[in-house]
Structure 1
């Protein structure tokens, strides 16, 4: 199975890459740097160029996304738009364009996070963008052509990231990033669509 992995160089992307490789996937990595293909998922033209270079694929797994983390009172309109572009519109574009490049049974796996259902201070844009992605996936699941599928992985804070983000997620139970990677496997190798896999 040929899997195109965007956001391949981050904590989550590396874990997904390792697990998919263990399972025999042909993994083509894409990221801003240090990957098989250079891509900026906030740029539709960059996404198009990535798909052209990668060619036909069986699965697109995205582990990339960015939002500003700021107190609500300090958020600007530009911050909100940047967060929507960095986490929501970018992932919509991966699916919108990718449908034409994927096989008839291609799957798309997107990323959100715990703030969709459990908000934290400074995370209002994260909650907004994550909620948009999950709503989009449920809607796109009934409109994708052929037998293509789309799902979302929504993890809590990772054990590997708790030192950097622990103060924001006080009282949250961290999970090993490998558990989130397993949810990607479930999405890619399974048969469900329109699902949000909580980790």
Structure 2
């Protein structure tokens, strides 16, 4: 099946404590490992040599670095695998080893050998906006990410937290389904966001006056 015929399924994964293997230890591999660590994964890096960041993380006990070449058995019980070496033969071997074990694999810069893609991501606290071109143009995905970062500024981080807290409070109230839905849409609406931003700006502008009241 050609790539053009495949429709990707968008999904956000919980990786906490899951075994995730990175084969390779250069700058690209380090970036992939950093993202996995940030998601709470158990990261195992396999490479004879390693980027300075990977070495430092291994010394700190934040990831495991096997200082050797990859073997197929490394894929056993892995949740997902990233291959990011400068050897096409090694990357192909990793991909085939994963396929035999039904393990999700991403080969860097090789869309045909990817079970999943890394999207460009806008992160604002609990808010995550992922952009993917299905591997066609990472440069376009990056440009769209920059545009969305301007649209969804840092203030969204605190606002989404507040919306979540208000939602939890509503869950404890005795409301009809229709009323609950109306209130949930209201607290997540544009007007509510604008009031939140205005309140923050006022609080930042007059902190002493507000504290004396």
Shared topology, TM-score over 0.5? no
- TM-score where L is the length of structure 1: 0.40
Greater relative CO (CA pairs within 8 A, separation 6+): 1
- TM-score where L is the length of structure 2: 0.38
In proportion to residue count, which structure has more strand?
Answer: 1
In proportion to residue count, which structure has more helix?
Answer: 2
